[in-house]
Structure 1
Amino acid sequence: MISWPRLLLFGDSITQFAFESNGWGATLANKLVRKCDVLNRGLSGYNTRWAKHILPKLIPDSRHAADIAAVTIFFGANDSSIKEINPQQHVPLEEYTENLRSMIRYLKSVDIKQEKIILITPPPIYEPSWEQHCLTKGYKLNRLNAVTGAYARACAEVGRESGADVVDLWTLMQDGGSDYTVYLSDGLHLSDEGNQFLESKLWLVLEKKLEALPFILPYWNDIDNNNPESSLFPSIDEKKGE
């Protein structure tokens, strides 16, 4: 069987929506076509309390980890919900931090080294837009940008202490007082501009990890039309001659 290396995207709704039109995951998949399979394992509404139990089911052992080229862990937008208003999704900051550490420890236990792990912090919250979204659903504003920032800083610190790369989306989008609202479609989820922004920052990290991946199967004009098998599967042909 021909197998491709895998890039696993693990996160909440911002990951689940990554394969929509102009989504950051779809753009990555297009860049990596015929080099790496991009797997979307985004789970809308999920937090790290639940995610840490799911990750071992996605990569159950080192045998299943052998073809993992990289993993992104992108949680925090739900964990940082205000407890009094959204207790179902809220995870205390200390627990969130330990849950991230736990997921990284697990990946390392199945032989996925820290250089293959990328943490992505939650993006900033634009409270006026998100409040309008909340009101249409019949509840109060349940996230605050300052609180999400604390979770983003904790995520970045876990990355630093574990040796994993970090895309600090919360900081990058607000760098220099930038108008980060253009990156958000509803105050929380990414707009087309936000998807493009995340993909561009993430690709700077991923390209270094994946640039050595070979193009799988030869270009069409490199195939020997009289003996296609020998050029399609040269390693098999070499074994026949042994």
Structure 2
Amino acid sequence: MSLPKIVLFGDSHSQRSFDPKSGCWGALLADKFQRIADVISRGFSGYTTRFCKQLMRDVFQAIPSNEIACVTILLGSNDATDPSSPSGLYVPIGEYATNLEDIVNHLESVGIPKNRVIMMSPPNYFHETFHQYLVENNQTLHVKSDKQVKEYAQACKNVAAKLGVTFLDLNDIFSSHPESPTLFADGLHFSTKGAELLDQYLYPLMLDKVERFVGTKPLNVKFPLWNEIDRADPSKSFQ
């Protein structure tokens, strides 16, 4: 059984999309698309757009492009690191924008048109909370500010508009929420509440992509429901 594929591409937000500690937004989507589409996480913790450009061919060579109904791109939280940060992840905002364009153009070159892409801006960021998390877990420190992340989110929005791809402004959605700090487990990665908020906005956009890909609205699950199967001769229901 070959189902349409939904690929969650990006940094740790995507890598951790099935992680209970990060709210499981990928799992929430996978549950809604059961027997309709496969949700595949292709996230890379700590990666920037500069790094992600290097693995585009390998990632998307492994998944037939004619089976991909939707690709989400969520990058920028690491690019927006300050140049002085010990992590060394800083990517200038101009290069960040160019890299996003290159990523979308690569997808198009391998048969995944722009109308299947959803680009998401990096959400807002709580530095003190994340800094404390890194200290407590003996991890490399990151130096950045929410102001920097917001500038990269605007650059992401500009690229999406330029390319004509669907855009979801997570920075605006999350920062304007009255309980914004509770949307993050550690100041950077989503909490369960944050994952549920993301799912609320992302699922309708994704559903539209899958429906357009399949050509059926509303979508039907693969194979008959249990109560639709011929009890006397089940084979008839699968012809």
Q: After TM superposition, is the score higher than 0.5?
A: yes
Cα deviation for residue 141 of structure 1 reads 5.2
**Cα distance in 1 between the residues matched to 2:141 and 2:228:** 61
For 1:149-188, list aligned pairs within 5 A.
Answer: 149-175=150-176, 178-188=178-188
SS in 2 for 1:204: helix
Kept in 1: contact 2:77–2:122 (CA 8 A) = yes
Match of 2:50 in 1: 49
* Selected match of 1:214 from 210, 213, 220: 220
SS in 2 for 1:40: strand
- Tell me: CA distance 1:105–1:138, structure 2 relative to 1, closer, same or farther (3 Å): closer
Match of 2:28 in 1: 27
SS in 2 for 1:166: strand
For 1:70-109, list aligned pairs within 5 A.
Answer: 70-86=70-86, 88-109=88-109
Q: Percent identity?
A: 32
- Tell me: CA distance 1:106–1:31, structure 2 relative to 1, closer, same or farther (3 Å): same
Match of 1:11 in 2: 10
For 1:116-127, list aligned pairs within 5 A.
Answer: 116-127=116-127
**Cα distance in 2 between the residues matched to 1:121 and 1:134:** 23
- Tell me: CA distance 1:179–1:125, structure 2 relative to 1, closer, same or farther (3 Å): same
* Structure 1, 138-147 or 5-14: larger mean CA deviation: 138-147
Kept in 2: contact 1:6–1:39 (CA 8 A) = yes
Match of 2:234 in 1: 228
Point out where structure 1 has 5 or more consecutive residues left out of the alignment: 235-242
**Cα distance in 2 between the residues matched to 1:25 and 1:59:** 19
One-letter amino acid of the structure 1 residue matched with residue 236 of structure 2: S
Match of 2:198 in 1: 198
Kept in 1: contact 2:86–2:140 (CA 8 A) = no
- TM-score normalised to structure 1 length: 0.88
One-letter amino acid of the structure 1 residue matched with residue 233 of structure 2: N
Cα deviation for residue 60 of structure 1 reads 2.3
Listed one character per residue, the Cα deviations across residues 74-102 of structure 1 (whole Å, up to 9, x for unaligned) are 11111111111145322111111111100
Listed one character per residue, the Cα deviations across residues 115-137 of structure 1 (whole Å, up to 9, x for unaligned) are 11011111111122123224433
How many pairs are equivalent? 230
* Structure 1, 2-11 or 218-227: larger mean CA deviation: 218-227
Kept in 1: contact 2:4–2:210 (CA 8 A) = no
Cα deviation for residue 139 of structure 1 reads 6.0
Match of 1:238 in 2: none
Cα deviation for residue 140 of structure 1 reads 5.4
One-letter amino acid of the structure 1 residue matched with residue 186 of structure 2: D
SS in 2 for 1:7: strand
Kept in 2: contact 1:134–1:142 (CA 8 A) = no
Kept in 1: contact 2:49–2:76 (CA 8 A) = yes
* Structure of greater relative contact order (alpha carbons < 8 Å, 6+ residues apart): 2
Kept in 2: contact 1:135–1:141 (CA 8 A) = no
**Cα distance in 1 between the residues matched to 2:35 and 2:233:** 22
Misfit runs of 4+, over 4 Å: 138-141
